[in-house]
Structure 1
């Protein structure tokens, strides 16, 4: 049971761990792939 006062957690405690920053890598690689595909389409369509 709670004693009436809210519990204060740090950000790391609230999400129970750390983040490995995989999202940055995935977004970066996918952005480069999209740019390469669009450049390839532009080159072929000429």
Structure 2
């Protein structure tokens, strides 16, 4: 990071400030799949039991 005139210039790495890993993508996908399965079960099981 360096100061130039009246503003600060940062590198791409400094600006991102986060970790660029794929873990978040997998957590999101697994969570979405789990929610779909659970909500489907909540909806389907009572219908099957009422027959």
1:1-46 CA distances to partner (integer Å, 9 max, x unpaired)?
x87644422231342x741121111111100000000111111111
Q: Which residue of 2 aligns with 1:8?
A: 9
The structure whose residues are more often strand, as a share, is: 2
Once residues 41 and 29 of structure 1 are traced to their aligned partners in structure 2, the CA distance between those partners, rounded to angstroms, is: 18
Unaligned 5+ segments in structure 2 are: none
- Match runs of 1:23-42 below 5 Å: 23-42=24-43
TM-score (norm 1): 0.63
1:7 to 1:45, Cα distance in 2 relative to 1, 3 A: same
Q: Which residue of 1 aligns with 2:44?
A: 43
| Greater RCO (CA < 8 Å, at least 6 residues apart) | 2
